[in-house]
Structure 1
Amino acid sequence: MPYITTADGAEIFYKDWGSGQPVLFSHGWPLNGDAWDVEMKLVADHGFRAIAHDRRGHGRSSQTWTGNDMDTYAADLAALVEALDLRDLILVGHSTGGGEVVRYAARHGGDRVAGIVTAGAVPPIMVKSDANPEGTPLEAFDGIRAGVLGDRSAFYQELSAAFFGTNREGSTISQGQRDQFWRQGMQVGLAGAYDCVKAFSETDFTSDLQALTVPVLLAHGDDDQIVPIAAAALKSVELVPNATLKVYPGAPHGIAGPYQQAFDADLLAFITA
């Protein structure tokens, strides 16, 4: 299996399908690159090179004790991009991955990046504060950390309901989809899973968003129970100079079912424009 080795010795697993203009996918917490398989096949079938990595601590990558923070995640992504010498690159990030690609593009991307797509992304900042009253209270993230430290198998099973919106009337998301979320979650190292909560909830991406100059598509479901749209995409679109906001009525956080079908169509339209 292909890996690259970072400056601190972490091994980052990646998948590389197809050929053509590169499209690099960054996954959400607590998932791994497999979360993007449908989209990877979609873009590869349409003449693009699809790449997805497992963030450090997640999936098949090294379970490091240190470096489970957004700056290091972005540096790891830079190491992957440079190792593969990717140019004219389109970045796609979901949830935590949306933050990762934004920070990478702003701080490391230079002239390599041609466009960015985020879905249910965590920027500008998730945690509630006086400056961000629409955010999620810190106590909610403390609850996630407690769930990870406690019975994390049961916690991931329960979390999948809000993640995919199966707790909403009319949901068509299968138990199998929820089981896949649990399976990927159980592959995360405990230290990485715990530390990543702070990384995705307390990192402020405001200056990163303002630094972006390439076209950006901000996709978000308006019934996202994990990353509420009011503190995320609705604010990000005001900060990014060249951004388009696409709101999916009734869509949850997890990219599945009707939301996935609509998002994939918009993703393909964006990268082929």
Structure 2
Amino acid sequence: MGTITTSDGTEIFYKDWGTGQPIVFSHGWPLSADDWDTQMMFFLAQGYRVIAHDRRGHGRSTQTSDGHDMDHYAADLRALTEHLDLHDAIHVGHSTGGGEVAHYIGQYGEDRVARAILISAVPPIMVQTESNPGGLPKSVFDGLQEQVATNRSAFYRDLPSTAFYGFNRDGVEPIEAVIQNWWRQGMMGGAKAHYDGIVAFSQTDFTEDLKKITVPTLVMHGEDDQVVPFADAGPLSAELVQNGTLKAYPGFPHGMPTTEAATINADILEWLRS
């Protein structure tokens, strides 16, 4: 584990375990590198080098006042890959992290990238616009910002208890430890970063970034995703990249890398070996 300091003085915390081909994990909002523990342990055991960082303002990275936008997120990821001198890397992004991966490749190219995996990811664009009528109304994201600004601890308890992991569905038993771990990670980060990050993940249009991606790209999305609805995300992203494969999961929730880790990890490994 270590830190790097970016050009604007922000310290970015990261984990770097093992040797072999690197897999770089970008986490979702408002979490941290810890959300990838299950994947990191699994792929470490398969002989990969696994790396995950806390996005600026999240986890153990600096709680900066500004820079909470996709341009900075992508630049921070580039700084990390250059610091570690990564080549032939596999980039995996969940939710907001999927946007980070797409924007990183779109902005900085594929010279260090071998493959990309977007899981329950926010691209192409979440918010409803004239060109994206299937998106969610801006008022939804305004409401999230209001909760972060005024009621963050309770909000960070409610979201993983319900829609994030599908624990509000009939017959689904909530897992208390998963809910508490989500809350723990969220509360480690900064309220300002999380507030601004809602705009970053919801209003950034990743369409042009996706069009620039030529490396093999696996798009994994749960059909019962209540946070990033399936129809306006996964299928569209898989079509926009130049070498995309869509893998849809009936009944799986937004947080499927945690609750459905055995399936997700096995499917990623199979695709990487194909």
Q: TM-score, normalised by structure 1?
A: 0.98
1:234 counterpart residue number: 235
1:57 counterpart residue number: 57
Q: Secondary structure at the match of 1:163?
A: coil
- In 2: Cα distance, 1:269 partner to 1:51 partner: 20
1:272 counterpart residue number: 273
- Identity fraction in percent: 55
2:149 counterpart residue number: 149
CA contact (8 A) 1:78 1:109 kept: no
Alignment of 1:5 with 2:8, yes or no, is no
Alignment of 1:122 with 2:142, yes or no, is no
CA contact (8 A) 2:125 2:206 kept: yes
Cα deviation 1:24-51 (Å, max 9, x = unaligned): 0000001000000010011110110000
Which one-letter code corresponds to 1:210 in the other structure?
A: K
Tell me how far 1:173 sits from its aligned partner. Answer: 4.1
Cα deviation 1:39-89 (Å, max 9, x = unaligned): 001111011000000000000000111110001000000000000000000
- In 1: Cα distance, 2:223 partner to 2:74 partner: 27
Tell me how far 1:261 sits from its aligned partner. Answer: 1.8
Cα deviation 1:165-213 (Å, max 9, x = unaligned): 0000121441111111111111110110000000000000000000000
Q: Which segment drifts farther, 32-41 or 167-176?
A: 167-176
Tell me how far 1:238 sits from its aligned partner. Answer: 1.6
- Give the direction of change, closer, same or farther, for the CA distance of 1:249–1:31 in structure 2 (3 Å limit): same
2:219 counterpart residue number: 218
Which one-letter code corresponds to 1:112 in the other structure?
A: R
- Give the direction of change, closer, same or farther, for the CA distance of 1:87–1:59 in structure 2 (3 Å limit): same
CA contact (8 A) 1:173 1:256 kept: no
Which one-letter code corresponds to 1:272 in the other structure?
A: R
Please give the residue correspondences for 1:175-186 in structure 2 after superposition, counting only pairs within 5 Å: 175-186=176-187
CA contact (8 A) 2:38 2:258 kept: no
Q: Which segment drifts farther, 98-107 or 165-174?
A: 165-174
**Long gaps (5+) in structure 1:** none
Query: What value does the CA root-mean-square deviation take over the aligned residues?
Result: 1.1
1:31 counterpart residue number: 31
Tell me how far 1:240 sits from its aligned partner. Answer: 1.0
1:100 counterpart residue number: 100
Q: Which segment drifts farther, 34-43 or 165-174?
A: 165-174
- In 2: Cα distance, 1:223 partner to 1:181 partner: 20
- In 1: Cα distance, 2:258 partner to 2:33 partner: 19
- In 2: Cα distance, 1:83 partner to 1:11 partner: 13
- In 2: Cα distance, 1:94 partner to 1:110 partner: 19
CA contact (8 A) 1:173 1:257 kept: no
- In 2: Cα distance, 1:169 partner to 1:246 partner: 24
- In 2: Cα distance, 1:75 partner to 1:223 partner: 32
Tell me how far 1:256 sits from its aligned partner. Answer: 5.0
Please give the residue correspondences for 1:36-115 in structure 2 after superposition, counting only pairs within 5 Å: 36-115=36-115
- In 2: Cα distance, 1:257 partner to 1:76 partner: 25
Q: TM-score, normalised by structure 2?
A: 0.97
2:250 counterpart residue number: 249
1:134 counterpart residue number: 134
Q: Secondary structure at the match of 1:270?
A: helix
- Give the direction of change, closer, same or farther, for the CA distance of 1:35–1:257 in structure 2 (3 Å limit): closer
1:202 counterpart residue number: 203
Q: Secondary structure at the match of 1:118?
A: strand
1:164 counterpart residue number: 165
Cα deviation 1:128-153 (Å, max 9, x = unaligned): 11211110110000010000011111
